[in-house]
Amino acid sequence: MDKKNQDIWVGMAHKNNDPALVEAAGKEFVELPIIEALSDDKIAEVPANRRDFLKYLGFGLGAATIAAGCDVPVKRAIPYVTKPDEIVPGVATYYASSFVKGGDYCAVLVKTREGRPIKIEGNVLSPLTKGGTSARAQASVLELYDVNRVKNPGAVGENGVVTKMSWADLDKTIGGKLNASSNIRIVTNTVLSPTAKKAFAEFIVKYPNAKVVTYDPISASGMLEANERSFGDRVIPDYHFDKASTIVSFGADFLGTWISPIEYASAYAKGRKINPKRPKMSRHIQVESGMSLTGSNADNRVLIRPSEMGAAIATLYSALGGSVSAPKLNNKATAAISKVAEQLRGSRGNSLVVSASNNVMEQIMVNKINEMLGNLGSTITFTHASLQRQGIDSEIQGLISEMQGGGVDAVMVLDANPAFDLYNSDKFITAFAKVPLKVSLSYDLNETMALCDYTAPNHHFLESWGDAEPKRGHLSIIQPTISPLFPTRQAEASLLVWSGSANYKASAEQPYYEYLKTSWNGFFGQQSNYASFRSFWDEALHDGVAKLGISEREYGTVAATVNIGQITSPSNAEVEIAFLESINIGAGQYANNPWLMEMPDPVTRTSWGNYLGVPVSFDGAHSFVGYKGIGQSMVKGYADVVNLTRAGAEEGDRITAFPQFGQPEGSVATNLGYGRKICGGAGRNVGTNMFPYLSADANGNTQYFATNVAVSDIVDINYDFPCVQYHHTLGVTAKNEAGETINADEAALVDFTYGVVDQGYQGSLTNRSVIYHTNINELSEFTKELGHKREEAQALNAQSLYPGHEYLYENGHHWGMYVDLNACTGCSACTVACMAENNVPVVGAKEVSRHHEMTWLRIDRYFYGDVESPNTVYQPMMCQHCDNAPCENVCPVAATNHSSEGLNQMAYNRCVGTRYCANNCPYKVRRFNWLDYTTADIFPANQIDLNEEEIPYGADNLTRMVLNPDVTVRSRGVIEKCSFCVQRIQEGKLTAKREARKLRDQDVKTACQTACPTGAIVFGDLNNKEGELHKSLDHNPLVYIALEEINVLSSVNYTAVVNNRDEALDA
């Protein structure tokens, strides 16, 4: 066994040829350990045993018989009294708005049905996000219908319980406690809204001693300060990833979480999509210590321990000619970085170096590096600088000491949660308690809100008016899409009311709307496209975005000087830990969103918690071992639990650990944001809170790693590990007892002792075409080889089991899809979009650990290449809509069958749940409803499994408002799967028919396609020769079909992955 190989693998058990994996992969449905379930102490609480079941059954039969003799219940049809002009029941209305949460921003279109927002789409008119979305933006609509929202203004009791008050009473109470000289602090995360800032300013006019304290839980404070010192401008520059041919990122997860990931991913993908005729792609080198989404997309990763980040930057700086003596870095990284420096020099002016470091001096060095490389003004500009991070760590730290000293009279907390997401939250909490008046303006239940005296709950953004300026000169509108569900009030409005602003006319029908409009009157003068304010405003409201003419700002030189003494010095600790912002739930702000909780982390493939990624090492002879032997039983759905301790803590945290390829030796990594204590039901006590592990550097900026930790040996086993890595595996090869390569997912078909054939079982291939990958330098050879392989596969397919069945589809439509794996970054926006569009249920951690996740679209993650620092492929895998579908042939009731448009149809009301189809699906994309996940009529016996919620997620009436009325809500006992968004196909066709014209590409777009920030998914009619799909596939030598050799004639095409890895960096 070699450390380096060209195989693809999904995890350590696969690499190690674990017999348990071979056995498990052969089964579509995992065999759940029944004995364990019975020994589960919860079983005693189950109110229904077998006898009860029989009673229910008997009663059910009886009831059904009686019901059969009765009339159908009366249903009511309730029309409007006065129908709003813009609503036609049954037809969706879209509103342009903006998703904003702290510094996270996405221009969106909100789809509403009968006045209910049900789906978020990207807004293509936005010059930033260009129609792309993120998983967080997609999931934000569910937050609107969160049952745990703060629903009333009032006084806050223990654990955030609110004693109701009227708004008038609350305003009176708070107004009575404030006076002109009060030292008031407004604590917020980054505020993008210029109008909100005007409201703050008015508040400060009334209370001159008031101050706004801005911080970000995942801070860019060091960078902002560095830029202020370098350029005199405290902003995040405008990065142009599309213009860079060499991208070096020091720990910046710009595709997943850093600053503006949607914008960056879209630009980045432009440099990564391959035109085989003129092969050219950017080279991306990631220097990091925990495998981030961005790192997994990189061509080369330079592995460092977290404390070596400063040293790594300094090494590059000095290699490029900076006059510093860099601290010692590990040898391999030192060598690699000197080669990186060479490459950067070679692409002067079109390279880009970014860093997520929160150390001022390290960021100044990064600025110096970009200056030396001539990137300032080319790949880094400042005119449209980003305002998406504005928080300064020292401000909130200053507030803590101020509060501790008793100098603060009142604190208003606006959508921030410092009692959870600061490294010294404990200090904040004690200091906060000394403030006489504490008011929360958040709409969600959180740790800080629970410590406040009063709550003045904010609207959700889908209920609000507002604006955002994510980048200088780029404005964006937030408009309400539904009347407030609860008696909440916009936070800005609350501040304006308390400040008694004359500009805020509380008696108006929509006072904050008037205020916003007045505020925008000021922007009208800054643009020249519209002659009247009315047209400017109307157009902005329609488009959702507006652009202002602003003066150019460019900085060519870096004013600051480098003082190497101020960077982090590498530690000698045995093990260090790196903390990453979770793609799913950020720093905890999104923790109460079941869609995001259930979405597997793209890199680790885990859901419902944060887990400790430990390095994998090769023993030199046989196998790969997780640090301290961790990860041996993962394939069975178990995982090892270790004790993680930090110096100074009384006791450690028990945390589930798993082996993570690409994790540097001597380091471990995990996600931040989990372990919320006061939160809605979905996020409460899920995972471990890592914020107490953080510390600050000499400048008071939070550092996202820790050196003072110890990882124990395995102390326990987690039997409910919700990791989907080994669920629904396909094309997994393994070695049988005789040492022959076999298809693990066919192993169950044949007796081991019988395995004498050398290629898989029953003469099948082991060389399965699941993923193809190559290096850009070998592209021409590779395309030839791929051509041969496809020819071979097609030759194998010449013999059909169904002679005479030809799939011509020359008449009408033939739906197909193209997924560009070079553009796919694995960000998972599509998986959440699919859940939202298709009413896919959330099943909870326990059910996920039992392989019961219901996602129609999953993103398979494969590694290949160097085991210590592998390359990664993300493969969105959905129903492939095979023309020769193996699922169809085995259905005894023809519940799944083929349409004349090439769709593999699923009729739920016909399905009897034999699951033969899922067993026969080579792509493992069919899902079975083991429980009635979305409706409330389930047996109480099943409910204990659903994360101890009394009713399962999504079964209450408020949450059910998010359901798409055009898609059936499936019940227990039926199979479901991707339908290519057939409801959208039908809708698009109907639009074309009604307008009596041909169907156009833009009429039908699937939910995953519209969600994708990089345009990796193209859906369309294969019969439309002018369509985008046809153009993408036509004569593209990189296109392949997954498992083409098994003759299922799938309708989804993938591109082979091309990397631009430089082997020299590995040496």
Partner 1 sequence: MNITTIPKMKHFLPLVLLFFCGSLLAQAPNLAEGKALFRNNCASCHNKSMKDDMTGPALGGVEERWEGKEALLYDWIRNSTAVIESGDEYAVSLFNTWNKSKMTAFPNLTDEQIASVLGYIDDVYVNGPAVVNGGGDPIPGEKGDEAGLSTSFFVVLFLILAILAVALARIISNLNRMAEMKEGGKPGQVATLKDILTSRGVIGFLVFALVIIGGFTTVNNAINLGRQQGYAPDQPIKFSHALHAGQQQIDCQYCHDGARRSKHSVIPATNTCMNCHKAIKKGSLDGTAEISKIYASIGYDPNTDTYMENYEEMTNEEIKPIFIKYATETFKKDNATVAKYADSESKLTRDADEEAEKQWKGIVASLTNPSKEKVSGAIEWERIHNLPDHVYFNHAQHVSVGKLQCQTCHGPVEKMEVVQQYAPLSMGWCINCHRQTEVQFASNEYYEQYETYHKELKSGKRETVTVEDIGGLECQKCHY
Which stretches of the chain bind partner 1, using CB under 8 A? 68, 72, 74-83, 88-91, 802, 805, 807, 810-813, 885, 888-889, 894-895, 897-901, 903, 905-910, 966-969, 979, 982-983, 986, 989-990, 992-994, 996-999, 1023
Least separation in angstroms between residue 1013's CB and partner 1 is 27
Q: Mapping DSSP to helix (H, G, I), strand (E, B) and coil, where does residue 8 land?
A: strand
Q: Which residues contact 739 (CB under 8 A, 6 or more apart)?
A: none
Nearest alpha-carbon partner for 313 in 664, 568, 667, 662? 568
Q: How far is the CB of 1001 from partner 1 (least distance, A)?
A: 13
Determine the length of the chain.
1067
User: Closest separation between CB of residue 971 and partner 1, Å?
Assistant: 9
Task: Please give the full DSSP string across 331-386, using - where no structure is assigned.
Answer: HHHHHHHHHHHHHHHHTTTSEEEEE----HHHHHHHHHHHHHTT-BTTTEEEEEEE
Q: Which residue, 173 or 897, is less far from partner 1 as judged by CB?
A: 897
Nearer to partner 1, 814 or 924 (CB): 814
Give the nearer residue to partner 1 in terms of CB position, either 134 or 964. Answer: 964
Determine contact, residues 963/863, Cβ cutoff 8 Å: no
Q: How far is the CB of 991 from partner 1 (least distance, A)?
A: 9
Strand pairing report for 4-9 and 858-866: antiparallel
Cβ nearer to partner 1, comparing 512 with 809: 809
Q: What end-to-end distance do the CA atoms of the chain give, in Å? A: 19
Least separation in angstroms between residue 900's CB and partner 1 is 4
- Closer to partner 1 at the Cβ: 27 or 993? 993
What amino acid is encoded at 87 in this protein?
Answer: I
What six digits make up the tokens of 119? 């789906």
Report in angstroms how near the CB of residue 994 gets to partner 1 at its nearest: 5
Residue closer to partner 1, measured from CB, 88 or 738: 88
Q: Which is nearer to partner 1, 88 or 717 (CB)?
A: 88
Q: Minimal distance in Å, beta carbon 969 to partner 1? A: 7
Closest to partner 1 by CB, 113 vs 284, is: 113
Rounded to whole angstroms, the Cα distance separating 77 from 242 reads: 54
Place of tokens 């569009």: 837
Least spacing, CB of residue 370 vs partner 1, in Å: 52
Integer Cα distance of 1003 and 890 in angstroms: 34
Q: 296 or 904, CB closer to partner 1? A: 904
User: Which tokens sit at 943?
Assistant: 């409910």
Q: What's the min distance (Å) between Cβ of 934 and partner 1?
A: 12
CB 816 within 8 A of CB 902: yes
Q: Which is nearer to partner 1, 462 or 895 (CB)?
A: 895
- Of 368, 791, 413, 294, the C-alpha closest to 561 is 368
Could you tell me the smallest distance in angstroms from the CB atom of residue 749 to partner 1? 23
The C-alpha atoms of residue 22 and residue 63 are separated, in whole angstroms, by 47
Q: Do residues 294 and 694 make contact, with C-beta atoms less than 8 angstroms apart?
A: no
For Cα atoms 96, 101, 105, give the angle at the middle one, nearest 5 degrees: 55
Cβ at position 728, least distance to partner 1 in Å? 23
Beta-bridge partner residues of 1054: 819, 1040
CB of 979 to partner 1, least distance (A): 6
Measure the CA–CA gap between 620 and 570, rounded to whole angstroms: 28
Q: Which helix (H) or strand (E) holds 137?
A: helix 135-144
Of the pair 238, 837, the CB lying nearest partner 1 is at 837
- Rounded least distance, CB 114 to partner 1, Å: 9
- Residue 930 C-beta: closest distance to partner 1, Å: 20
Least gap, CB of 926 to partner 1 (angstroms) = 15
- Closer by beta carbon to partner 1, 42 or else 83: 83
Q: Are 465 and 479 within 8 A, CB to CB? A: yes
- Residue type for position 771: I
Kindly give, in sequence order, each residue whose CB lies less than 8 Å from that of residue 582, ignoring residues fewer than 6 positions away: 257, 601, 610, 671, 672, 673, 674
Determine contact, residues 1024/992, Cβ cutoff 8 Å: no
Residue 494 token pair: 């609350």
Q: 27 or 805, CB closer to partner 1?
A: 805
Residue placing its CB nearer to partner 1 in the complex, 211 or 970 = 970
Tell me the closest approach of the beta carbon of residue 996 to partner 1, in angstroms: 5
Written as one string, the DSSP assignment of 733-746 is EEE-TTS-EEEGGG
φ, ψ of residue 219 to 5 degrees: the values are: -90, 145
Give the rounded distance of the alpha carbon of 967 from its chain centre: 24
Which candidate, 858, 205, 104, places its Cα nearest to that of 499?
Answer: 205
Angle among Cα 815, 810, 771 to the nearest 5 degrees reads 40
Residue 794 CB, nearest approach to partner 1 (Å): 20
**What is the gyration radius of the CA atoms in the chain, in angstroms?**
29
The answer to whether the beta carbons of residues 874 and 824 sit under 8 Å apart is yes
518 token code pair: 């007045």
Q: What is the largest CA-CA distance in the chain?
A: 91
Of 30 and 969, nearer to partner 1 (C-beta) is 969
* 811/957 with CB nearer partner 1: 811
Task: Tell whether the torsion through CA atoms of 625, 629, 631 and 635 is positive or negative.
Answer: positive
Tokens of 166: 């009227």
Least CB distance from residue 28 to partner 1, whole Å?
21
Nearer to partner 1, 43 or 894 (CB): 894
For the beta carbon of residue 629, count every other beta carbon within 10 angstroms.
Answer: 12
Cα gap 604→374, rounded to integer Å:
37
Nearer to partner 1, 79 or 763 (CB): 79
Q: Beta strand pairing status for 283-288 and 246-250? A: parallel
Q: CA triplet 185, 441, 183: central angle to 5 degrees? A: 15
